[in-house]
Structure 1
Amino acid sequence: MLKLIVGTKGSGKTKTMIDMIDKATKTTSGNIVVIEKCMKLTTEINHAARLVDVDEYGVVGADMLYGFVAGVLAGNYDITELFIDGILRIIDHDLDAADKVLKAIDKITKNIEVVVTVSANADELPEDLKKYVI
């Protein structure tokens, strides 16, 4: 189940995600994975969530992000929540690529709650993604 937190820079997207992560750490019986670029959330999220920096693995672009997410999921069947902070920073600010990769991730995460922050105006999103905005 895919959910998008959308807004311009400084609108509170990451804070909303941090609150969701903290809530999930208190209620989930599974594992929580947080994927981000540059490890800026290191001290802000509960240590029960696994924080992964895509820069450490050389992930650049939508195709590599999809492969990385698929690999993380294949390596741990106990993941119940997946958070991706700043997807556009990972995929070079390409909304069309975001549309493609998010649809692909949604297909492989049917039993996982996936929350992604997108730094853009909601009206800039491709039509197919607007239904995921929370």
Structure 2
Amino acid sequence: MIKLIVGTKGTGKTKAMIEAINAVTKTTTGNVVVLEKSMKLTYDIDHAARLIDLDEYHITGYNMMYGFVAGVLAGNYDITELFVDGILKVGDHDLNGLGKFLDDVQAIAGENVNVTITISAALETLPEDVKKYL
């Protein structure tokens, strides 16, 4: 299942995601993984969550990000929660390609992994293939 946290810069998306991460680390029986560009969340999230810096792996574009997500999920079948902060930074702010990326991630995550993604954009600018995940 994919959940989107959408809003323009400064609307509290990352704060909402941090709260969700910290809440789920206390209740999940599986593993929590957080993917972000740079390590801004290092001191904000519970140590039980695995934080991965996408810059460290030179992830650029939705295709490379999909491959990385697939690898993370394939490498650990115990992941129940996956968080991605700032997906548009990875996808070079391409709103049109975001829908296909979300469809692909949904297909590999299935019903066993909850995926939460922040999108820094106004709700009305999102294409319909992205809005279906709201």
Q: TM-score range by the shorter chain?
A: over 0.9
Aligned length: 133
SS where residue 117 of structure 2 aligns? strand
Corresponding letter in the other structure for 1:118: I
User: Which residue of 2 is the match for residue 74 of structure 1?
Assistant: 74
SS where residue 66 of structure 1 aligns? helix
Per the normalisation by structure 2, the TM-score is 0.97
Alignment of 1:3-14 (within 5 A): 3-14=3-14
Which piece of structure 1 moves more, 124-133 or 8-17? 124-133
User: d(CA) in 1 for partners of 2:131 and 2:91?
Assistant: 19
CA offset digits 1:63-103 (Å, max 9, x no partner): 00000000000000000000000000111100112111111
CA-atom RMSD, angstroms?
0.7
User: d(CA) in 2 for partners of 1:103 and 1:131?
Assistant: 10
State the 4+ residue runs in structure 1 displaced beyond 3 angstroms.
Answer: none
SS where residue 26 of structure 2 aligns? helix
Corresponding letter in the other structure for 2:130: L
User: d(CA) in 1 for partners of 2:69 and 2:80?
Assistant: 13
User: Which residue of 1 is the match for residue 2 of structure 2?
Assistant: 2
User: d(CA) in 2 for partners of 1:96 and 1:53?
Assistant: 25
User: Which residue of 2 is the match for residue 48 of structure 1?
Assistant: 48
User: d(CA) in 1 for partners of 2:63 and 2:39?
Assistant: 21
Gaps of 5+ in 2: none
Question: Share of identical aligned residues, percent?
Answer: 62
Gaps of 5+ in 1: none
User: d(CA) in 2 for partners of 1:43 and 1:95?
Assistant: 30
Alignment of 1:1-134 (within 5 A): 1-110=1-110, 111-133=112-134
